[in-house]
Structure 1
Amino acid sequence: MSQTMKAAVLYAVGEPLRIEQVPIPEPGPGEILIRIAACGVCHSDLHAMDGDWSDLPTLPLIPGHEITGHVAAHGSGVTEPALGTAVGMPWMYSACGTCEFCLGGMETICARRESTGYSKQGGYAEYMIAPAAFVSNIPDGTDLYALAPILCAGVTTYRGLMRSHARPGQWVAVMGIGGLGHVAVQYAIAMGFRVAAIDVGADKLELARGYGAEVLINALDNPVETVKQQIPGGVHAVLVTATANAAFEQSVKMLRPGGTVVFIGLPGGDADTVRASISSISGWELTITGSNIGTRQDLNEAIAFVARGQVKAQVSLEQLDNINDIFDRMRKGQLVGRTILKIS
């Protein structure tokens, strides 16, 4: 094994990533070394680079948190997953395991959680270390490039749909048919919901139609009125995967009485505030809730949909050397589906 590896490193927020050779990390107690096959490019990585969130990333940083690969080495005390096993590493790098949230199935909001590619080194590299207890096993024969987006986009939207409390046969609107939204549409269909897809891009709406969305709405054409015209009474739930502030405010107005909107997308910067009618929320018993990535069990369930062939992310493969160009295209809204870095 070479003693160095190629990695994309962030040294200061607001700067491009630098492609360089860095030492291969060594796994410590309870950790494994992953030889990375693929890493998805998520909008959260762009937020990390631009310093959009109040808690800034740990620098220098190797971003990336939609990681698939194989176990290359064990740290002390680790025997599983076995060497050579295919594994995935999501945004949730670790959690304490003992607080009220971890014990209550809400490890995603543990105060001591760590985040892959944000507070810990991530997957824009040939190798990374990870806690053995927090990687997911991947079924044999799974396409590691196609599965990578499920480690974030998949598990995040799956958990969001679960938290919407919508029932099969009810209407769910997905706002934003990008890297998260195109997967969300598939999970919603697989879970028995009727889907309205909302986006500004005609190509993205056609993608949603192909997955089974019944109603397609251009977000620039009075989406609230259009939803209520095509779905009398409004939708039972809205999943907001977009990052435009307007989408969050519009989503509440699309709900029918008793409905739920789930916020997933993160605007970042000064746009991180939403105005909503308190009287409408109270009078019609509407619910606004957030959903933060997913637990290890959520991830296992999300992967199972993929293993059964019910969900498949649309991916395009690119080389690590192209990462800064990929982010330029992401800023311009030019990415369709999910871009995957083909590491090995």
Structure 2
Amino acid sequence: MASTIKPVLPTSYKAAVIEAPGAPLKVIDVTLKKPGPSQVLVKVLACGICHSDAGLQQGHFGPHLFPRVPGHEIVGDVVKIGGGVSRVANGDRVRGTWHGGHDHTCRQCHMGLFQICDNAVSNGISQDGGYAEFVLLRSEAVVRVPKDLDPAQVGPLLCAGVTVFNSIRKMKIEQGNLVAIQGIGGLGHLAIQYANKMGYKVAALSSGSEKRDLALKLGAHEFIDSSQVDPIKALKELGGAALIIATAPNPKSIAPLTGALGAAGKLCVLAPVGQLEINSFDLISKAASVHGWPSGHALDCEDAIDFARTHGVTCLVERFSLDNAQEAMDTMIQNKVRFRSVLVMGSE
């Protein structure tokens, strides 16, 4: 039950801001604003760091967005609600995601695809995000989170986690079939767990043997080292994949994967790599197809949390303080983190 005690709020708080394209994260004091209609004010407990945050810093989303506080893997407690808010109350633990709000009126919203609304808002991109001690979120997009879960693990679970969870279930592959996961990073290590717990035979693909033991521990039944064997041939020897989830951003590794699909197999690409040269013969001859999936909305996220909680899916994280936000970003960019960097407020 949400608390009825109203917390005493400060007049200002710390936030890590990107002041211009290419500028480093800088921790500054920000004046605390009250929530407007349909908004909630959240005291941030943790915020994960995503590759899209680095894209923002590098100016890939355009120069008009700055200054901006990044971060969409937000977990915290509601401390004040604006007018018209009924979904959550003071004291509730919530999660802010990439999807930060929608208009309820466009065709996509009527289809239930709120995350691709014509007028969608993105936390940490089009409005300030969670690299801060407090954040304002739109109430229609917040996700309710059980308080017994570690906030540092929940944040990435509802970015990378809901992305792979949703993409697997939306492909509608029957249980027992072979699902291959290309890449064992922030997305891939969660995809292996979700696919295993959903009842699939799981093959993990990685370049090098360093992650073999981890992949098998996470739930892979087969490990394919693409630096030693042809992954297409290896998957075909296993009968062909009903589904391949591509998570590692390497177009030269992704494009040939259509050759490893079984009859009516599906390649779902989650790594944004731009153009791919796909062999159309693979698609035509096997009735195969290529897909993408845009993460998820609030209900999808709650489903992903509930599934993870029930079946023991966990996110592996490294923790950083807000003052070390740029270090956390650099660690992710340099691929030195296993597997998600997370800012934890109040930590040293």
TM-score by length of 1: 0.92
Question: Matched residues in 1 for 2:137 and 2:230: separation?
Answer: 43
Aligned twin of 1:253: 259
Aligned twin of 1:90: 97
What is the deviation of 1:226? 4.7
Aligned residue type for 1:259: G
Which one of the candidate residues 317, 321, 330 is aligned to 1:319?
A: 321
Aligned residue type for 2:181: V
Aligned twin of 1:40: 48
| SS of structure 1 residue aligned to 2:211 | helix
Aligned residue type for 2:224: I
Aligned residue type for 1:254: A
Question: Matched residues in 1 for 2:313 and 2:244: separation?
Answer: 20
Aligned residue type for 2:339: G
What is the deviation of 1:230? 4.7
| Unaligned ranges ≥5, structure 1 | none
Structure 1 segments, 4+ long, off by >6 Å, are none
Aligned residue type for 2:125: Y
Residues 202 and 340 (structure 1), Cα distance of their counterparts in 2 relative to 1, 3 Å cut: farther
Aligned twin of 2:28: 20
Aligned twin of 1:160: 167
Confirm whether residue 300 of structure 1 aligns to residue 307 of structure 2. Answer: no
Deviations 1:220-275 (A, max 9, x none): 3354345336513x2111111111222321332221221101111123xxxx1110
Aligned twin of 2:6: none
Residues 57 and 119 in structure 1, CA contact (< 8 A), matched pair in contact too: no
Which one of the candidate residues 41, 53, 57 is aligned to 1:49?
A: 57
Residues 156 and 293 in structure 1, CA contact (< 8 A), matched pair in contact too: yes
Aligned twin of 2:67: 60
| SS of structure 2 residue aligned to 1:152 | helix
Deviations 1:132-182 (A, max 9, x none): 121111124222222111221111111110232221111111112111111
- Backbone CA RMSD of aligned residues: 1.8
Question: Matched residues in 1 for 2:305 and 2:231: separation?
Answer: 33
Residues 47 and 254 (structure 1), Cα distance of their counterparts in 2 relative to 1, 3 Å cut: farther
TM alignment of 1:102-181, pairs within 5 A? 102-181=109-188
Residues 47 and 250 (structure 1), Cα distance of their counterparts in 2 relative to 1, 3 Å cut: farther
Question: Matched residues in 2 for 1:6 and 1:227: separation?
Answer: 51
| Unaligned ranges ≥5, structure 2 | 1-8
Aligned residue type for 2:266: T
| Aligned length, in residue pairs | 338
Aligned residue type for 1:131: R
Question: Matched residues in 2 for 1:29 and 1:155: separation?
Answer: 28
TM-score by length of 2: 0.91
Residues 201 and 138 (structure 1), Cα distance of their counterparts in 2 relative to 1, 3 Å cut: farther
Confirm whether residue 290 of structure 1 aligns to residue 296 of structure 2. Answer: no
Question: Matched residues in 1 for 2:58 and 2:282: separation?
Answer: 36
Deviations 1:2-31 (A, max 9, x none): 222111111222222112222223210111
Aligned residue type for 1:241: T
| SS of structure 1 residue aligned to 2:338 | coil
What is the deviation of 1:218? 2.5
| SS of structure 1 residue aligned to 2:154 | helix
Aligned twin of 1:244: 250
Aligned twin of 1:220: 227
Residues 181 and 143 (structure 1), Cα distance of their counterparts in 2 relative to 1, 3 Å cut: same
